[in-house]
Chain A
Amino acid sequence: MHTKALRYVLFSLIALFLLGLAWWYFFLNARIESIEQRDSARGLDEPAPLFRNTTGSTSGNFLRTSEGTAATTTAETKAAPDMWQISKTPVAGALFLRNGDRERLYFAERGTGYVFEADPETGSIVRLTNRLFPKTYGAAFAARGGVMLLSLDESGNSITFVGAMAEPVATSTKESATSTKASSSEAPLSISGLSLPDDVSTLAVNPYSRELFILGRVASGGTSGIRSSWDGKKRIKLFSSSLTNWRPVFLDDGRTFITQNAADGVAGFAYEVKSDGTLSAILRNIPGLSFLPKSSSSAHLWSSSAGGVVSLFARMSGTDSTVELSLRTFADKCVWAPEKAPIIYCAVPQETPRGLLDNWLRGAAHTSDDWWRVNVSTGEVDLVYAARANEPLDVLDPMIDAAGKNIAFANTRDNSLWNLRISENKEDETGAARQ
């Protein structure tokens, strides 16, 4: 009798245990589904990350979200479209550098800090690194695999990581600047480096000389302008200022500039910081100043914004007269063509409402830009690309390759990365753009 009762109890316990297991299985499944849906929503309509591929989840997801561009890595040889959305996910920064026979675009993902290499000719995208740098707000690149990544600590102070992706296998000339082991190997590159001291406020890089132009915070207040080696060790103090709202520029030719941060109607100044630390005024007392010097030339471009009126100017040298261009845009949306002729490519907002500069800087207003080419000498202006209503692009910090064939830029609406291929036949492209 006792044995029979014991058997019933035992069977009941087993049944209860199995029922518990089944409930646990279904509960977990429901939770996973819920988490996937939530993650998908957080990821700007991206599918939830999968941790099941060999190249790493982010890369896999990144490539999957780059529909119409590159579905695979180096095997892809399909030509990229003239206006190519390289990345749908936000990027932290990008730069054209020569690797082997042609230039490629290097960029870092904002969410992970992973570095990618995009080939504007073939449309291929290769992930180069797999070291995680979460929430990377800024990135810059340099010869011989140099990488600079900018993030924030808990207190909101910037953390600057400088390093290299791989050991160099070629000399660092302007012609063969970034030969790394990257694209030839499918294995992700290691990335090693160090964090610069936490006094870095902002910086600019010279990708070819692998130097940094650091604007550092001073304990007593103000800024210290420092030129340093890539690892931040060999430091030369150039200047000091009691102000902090500066933007540095470091040109390929080695010249360094600082410009005051812009605000509509507020006077701004731009200086060249000479090697002896003296400040040579380039532009003085310009309201809403945004400044873009040309490398290996004394030509410079700038914009002003006062009372909502945006104007664009250029000067071929310090002694030449100023030319007011017919385009209404910010110098932040322009890039000098690499050739000696004074050609500028500018993304021009279709509308420049009152207060645009301040609102644009705060992310409270976005523009829809057309691309124009301007010859400063002749005043000739050509439309290169007309904005599409369904694909508005708010251009920031465009960069051009050495051949002058590709312009890469960030769309500040979502920080996605784009590349515009410039047609060699100007007539055709202008006509095509206007259609």
Chain B
Amino acid sequence: MNNMQNWNTAFFLLFLFFVAPLAHAQFLPQSAPNLITVTMRPEHPGPLARIELTAHSSSIDLSRSELRWHANGKLLVSGAGATTAEVVAGPLGSVTSVSVSAQDGAARAEGSAVLRPVELDLLWESDSYTPPFYRGRALPSAGSNIRLQAVARLKRAGGTLIPERDIVYTWRRNGSVVASASGKGKSSATLPAPSLFGADTISVSAASTDGVLEGSSSIRIPSLEPILFLYEDHPIFGVLYNRELSGQSTVAESELTFAAVPYFASTESPDDRNLKWQWRINGREIPADPREPSMLTINADRSFGRAQIDLLLTHATNWFLQSAGSWAITFSPPNAFEEQGSFRDSP
């Protein structure tokens, strides 16, 4: 009797293991139409973006199936093994319903996706130093910060734009969520710049509070070394930012004030007390003017020749900030003595 019971139990277990799954596979398509998973590239498309749709299924061989793709009821593509399709997203605020069906003999599977395009711009700049009226972007260097701003346009199907304060922003740095910068209405963030010669991937996602609308954007930001440029500080015209003094320059002046500009250094001013300027002229160290250490005046009166200017910029606390430059300036004043003289600095 016990043996009979054991055999019955064994048969029941075998039935469960081998027969029940087959029965499940036969009836599941009718009861669960979402067997096909549809993925989109890009994941969060913008308005009028071309989107690549791909069908995936673990329960039906799609490569041997007859697939039919529809967008808002209109046939997009059909054919055996047509596992991918392309669709163009509608304008901002539109809804595009995509469906796919697959038939492999008696087996049938279905899947769907909804496209709600949003616009999300990820803008950035650094708070590093650039001179007044500079038309270029401030780029990050070690020790500076990156200012980020997300400009999101999430439009509901009814046509209303979701205000910025009602959008949930999630900021990520190299994939890790920056919790302090993320949250409702937090469309901007300030993050430390990547370390020297490093690069960070910053991403942001913006979603409506109900999660129906969502967009994301990312950017890779490298860190640069600050660059030193030398300009003439003209007594009448001011600093001539339009004309950098190149490595070898000749100036028809007997006296010239040089303005060094540390592009992208982590400072608000080139005369910041934390910046250490080391000027050398023809190998001789020249003490920097404590008030304006980024400026140097050379008096070449009664001199004629070349001044080799070497400049080294470091920071008192930011050890990563280091930049150097070298310029050979030939002073050729109109009535200079035809003799090689030594240059006098007058900081």
Q: Do A and B come from one complex?
A: yes
On A, residues with C-beta under 8 Å from B are 37-38, 40-43, 45, 90, 110-111, 134-135, 137-138, 150, 152, 155-156, 158, 202, 221-222, 241-245, 247, 260-263, 266-269, 271, 278-279, 281, 284-285, 332, 357-358, 361-364, 412-415
- Which B residues are in CB contact (< 8 Å) with A221? 127, 147, 190
- Which B residues are in CB contact (< 8 Å) with A362? 134, 136, 229, 241, 244, 263
Can you list 14 contacts pairing A with B, beta carbon distance less than 8 Å?
A37-B335, A41-B254, A90-B240, A138-B133, A202-B133, A245-B137, A261-B136, A262-B135, A266-B137, A267-B219, A281-B121, A361-B134, A363-B241, A363-B242
Do residues A247 and B135 form an inter-chain contact, with CB atoms below 8 A? yes
- Which B residues are in CB contact (< 8 Å) with A38? 254-255, 301, 333
In Å, the complex CA distance between A217 and B139 comes to 19
Name B119's contact: one of A281, A332, A413 (CB within 8 Å): A281
Do residues B137 and A135 form an inter-chain contact, with CB atoms below 8 A? no
Do residues B252 and A45 form an inter-chain contact, with CB atoms below 8 A? yes
Interface: B253 (CB within 8 A): yes
A-B contact count (CB 8 A): 129
Q: How far is the CB of A366 from chain B (nearest CB, A)?
A: 8
Do residues B242 and A158 form an inter-chain contact, with CB atoms below 8 A? no
- Which A residues are in CB contact (< 8 Å) with B219? 267
Q: How many residues does chain B have at the interface if contact means C-beta atoms less than 8 Å apart?
A: 47
- Which B residues are in CB contact (< 8 Å) with A37? 254, 333-335
On B, residues with C-beta under 8 Å from A are 119, 121, 123-125, 127, 132-139, 147-149, 151, 153, 161, 187-188, 190, 219, 229, 231, 234-238, 240-244, 246, 252-255, 263, 269, 301, 333-335
Name A41's contact: one of B153, B242, B244, B253 (CB within 8 Å): B253
Do residues B125 and A158 form an inter-chain contact, with CB atoms below 8 A? no
In Å, the complex CA distance between A202 and B135 comes to 11
Do residues A42 and B136 form an inter-chain contact, with CB atoms below 8 A? no
Do residues B125 and A260 form an inter-chain contact, with CB atoms below 8 A? yes
In Å, the complex CA distance between A247 and B135 comes to 8
Do residues B269 and A266 form an inter-chain contact, with CB atoms below 8 A? no
Name A110's contact: one of B134, B237, B301 (CB within 8 Å): B237
List the 5 closest A-B pairs by CB distance, nearest first.
Answer: A242-B188, A135-B238, A263-B137, A111-B236, A361-B136
Q: How far is the CB of A49 from chain B (nearest CB, A)?
A: 9
- Which A residues are in CB contact (< 8 Å) with B148? 242
Do residues B149 and A241 form an inter-chain contact, with CB atoms below 8 A? yes
In Å, the complex CA distance between A266 and B235 comes to 36
In Å, the complex CA distance between A281 and B48 comes to 14
Known: A38-B255, A260-B123, A269-B121. A361 touches B229 (CB 8 A): no
Do residues A266 and B139 form an inter-chain contact, with CB atoms below 8 A? yes
- Which A residues are in CB contact (< 8 Å) with B238? 110, 135, 137, 152
In Å, the complex CA distance between A222 and B190 comes to 11
In Å, the complex CA distance between A221 and B333 comes to 46
In Å, the complex CA distance between A415 and B235 comes to 16
In Å, the complex CA distance between A38 and B236 comes to 13
Q: Which of B121, B135, B161 has most A Cβ within 10 Å?
A: B135
- Which A residues are in CB contact (< 8 Å) with B229? 362-364
In Å, the complex CA distance between A358 and B269 comes to 21
Do residues A242 and B243 form an inter-chain contact, with CB atoms below 8 A? no
